[in-house]
Amino acid sequence: MKSTVIKEPSMVQQKEMIADHFQQLAEAAEHGRKVVYTFVPGNLTELMLGFDTLPVHPEINALQSGMRKLSGSYIAAAERVGHSEDVCTYVKCDIGMLLDGNVGPTGKKLPDPDLLLLSYTGCFTFMKWFELLRERYDCPVAMLHVPYQADGEATEEMIAYVARQLETEVIPKLEQVTGVAYDRDRVREHMLRSRVAEDDLVAVLEAAKHRPSPIDAYFGGVYYIGPMFTAFRGTEAAQAYYRQLRSEVDARVAAGQGPITPEGLLDEERFRIVVEGPPNWTHFREFWKMFYDEGAVVVASTYTKVGGVYDRGFRHDPDRPLESLAEYCLGCYTNLNLPSRVDMMADYVRDYAADGFLINSIKSCNSFSAGQLVMLRHIEDATGIPGGFIETDLVDPRYFSSSNVKNRLESYFQMLAQRSSGQEVESA
């Protein structure tokens, strides 16, 4: 592995976009910009941009706090004011950050919300989270109920229900808060840009079908999805970012290169892995290193689909803006039933010619984790490949046991190695 840290133009670009966004948030009050807090899954970015609002995503703040090693003290602060040890640590991390002055990742205080846009796609805890925030902020809440795809499809009735809520609940509240009238054409323009970027993102994710894979679709993937899942989808900046990223990945494919890790280019791809479940953020680098030290590359992951399943064909459709937003919300990964999730994982294992698959079960996230061990067995049956299982948390450092995770991963990779040498012997 080469030891020089490679900073590609897309990385610099994304960093600048984020810095600019936080700067705008810091100056929101000065410029009369309205701030909307909302969640990543089912985010209505194109619609929000149509009202010139600035989004804040509490989960992103929580994961950033995890990466900056602040989440432990934030969670402790939330527990001191009465939050249970048992509940979702994202919520506690956010509450703790709020109690500590709500200082964002760039060191600047985040503005209070003018609107809490509660779309609880794929998770009931979102509803509790904003009920808790509502107690602390004096602002309206727009609640968007997104039905669950319990039978593996988004029905016409579900789409109509969500679209009606956009019309009767979300848009009127955005109008009321911003004083701006809903402009369908403006939203359509943003959706047109989203489509282009979505095509490029899919090309990037699917580049992992190459051998060696030019990307890591989990650890690297969380950076790739950043702009698409947050404040930028539908902007020119996001369009440019994904165009650039795609060209970089294409160049790596042409050069037969592997993914870039924090320690440089990975030279040897030993294992191709599919991962289910979110990463751990408090030990993100260390966790990633446990993979690349073994030559394990994640070729597909479900976490990178929590904010949209573009690789399964979804695109924002400017000709039916509200219905299309409804379909988007309905289709986010954790809003899919378990059999659909099993199918997606099994497809990934096959389509990306993976050697193995791993489940990272998150202690405090029932939305993802409840039932993953059952999924594991069904994915094994469908693919004939044994799966691995580890338990960590998103942002609570108390639940990341490095030695435990490392041991489990090492044994899993060892088993895969033995399996493949066995197969080689058989086929020889």
Partner 1 sequence: MGVEAIIGRCQGLLEDLDLACVSEWKAAGEGRKAIGFLPVYVPRELIHAAGALPVGILGAGEELEIVRGDACFQSYICHIPRSTVELGLRGKLDALDGALFPSTCDVIRNLSGIWQLMFPEKEAIYFDVPQNLDPQVGGVFYRGLLAEIVTRLQRVVGRDVGADDLRAAISAYNASRRLVRELYDLRAAEPWRVPTSEAYLLLRAGMRLPVEEHNELLANYLTAVRDEDRALRDNARIVITGTFCEQPSLDLIRTLEHAGCYVVDDDLMLVTRWYGPDIRTDGDPLDAIAEAWMSADDETPCRYVADGTRKGQQLVDSVRRCGAEGVIFAAPSFCDPALLDRPMLQAVLEEEGIAYTSFKYSENTAQLQPIREQAGTFADTIKLWSDA
Nearer to ligand SF4, 57 or 188 (CB): 57
Nearest approach in angstroms of CB 68 to ligand SF4 is 18
Element (DSSP H or E) covering residue 260: strand 260-261
CA separation (Å) from 109 to 56, 101, 139, 407, 428? 12, 7, 18, 40, 63
Q: Which is nearer to partner 1, 160 or 353 (CB)?
A: 160
CA distances from 286 to 189, 281, 406, 413 (A): 41, 10, 10, 17
Nearest-angstrom CA–CA distance, 332 and 207: 22
Based on CB atoms, which residue is closest to ligand SF4, 110 or 394?
394
Amino acid identity, residue 356?
Answer: G
One-character DSSP codes across 93-111: HHHHHHHTT-B-TTSSBPP
Work out what residue 105 binds among partner 1, ligand SF4, none; the CB cut-off runs from 5 to 8 Å by kind: none
Torsion of CA 278, 282, 285, 291, to 10 degrees: -50
Stretch of 24-32, 69-77, 149-157, 250-258 contacting partner 1, by CB under 8 A: 149-157
Residues 365-384 that bind ligand SF4 (CB under 6 A): 365-368
Contact between 386 and partner 1 (CB under 8 A)? no
Q: Which residues, numbered 89-128, are part of the site for ligand SF4 (CB under 6 A)?
A: 90, 123, 125-126
Of residues 119, 117, 123, 121, the one with CA closest to residue 137: 117
Choose from partner 1, ligand SF4, none: what does 126 bind? Cβ within 5-8 Å by kind.
ligand SF4
**136 contacts partner 1 (rule: CB under 8 A):** no
Residues sharing a CB contact under 8 Å with residue 374, sequence separation 6 or more, in sequence order: 338
E strands of 277-322, at which residues? 296-301
Query: By C-beta, is 132 or 180 nearer to partner 1?
Result: 132
By C-beta, is 73 or 125 nearer to ligand SF4?
A: 125
Position 88 contacts ligand SF4 (CB under 6 A): yes
SS3 state at 174 = helix
Q: Does 281 bind ligand SF4 (CB under 6 A)?
A: no
- Please say which residue, 297 or 345, places its beta carbon nearer to ligand SF4: 345
β-sheet bridge partners, residue 103: 109
127 binds, among ligand SF4, partner 1, none (CB under 5 to 8 A by kind): partner 1
Q: Answer yes or no: are the C-beta atoms of 271 and 280 closer than 8 Å.
A: no
Q: Which of residues 159-198 bind ligand SF4 (CB under 6 A)?
A: none
Distance CA 104, CA 22 (A): 8
Residues that bind partner 1 in the complex, under the rule CB under 8 A = 81-84, 86-88, 91, 123-125, 127-129, 131-132, 134-135, 141, 143, 145, 147-148, 150-151, 157-158, 160-161, 164-165, 168-169, 337-339, 341-342, 361, 363-364, 366-367, 369-375, 378, 391
Residues that bind ligand SF4 in the complex, under the rule CB under 6 A = 59, 88, 90, 123, 125-126, 334, 365-368, 394
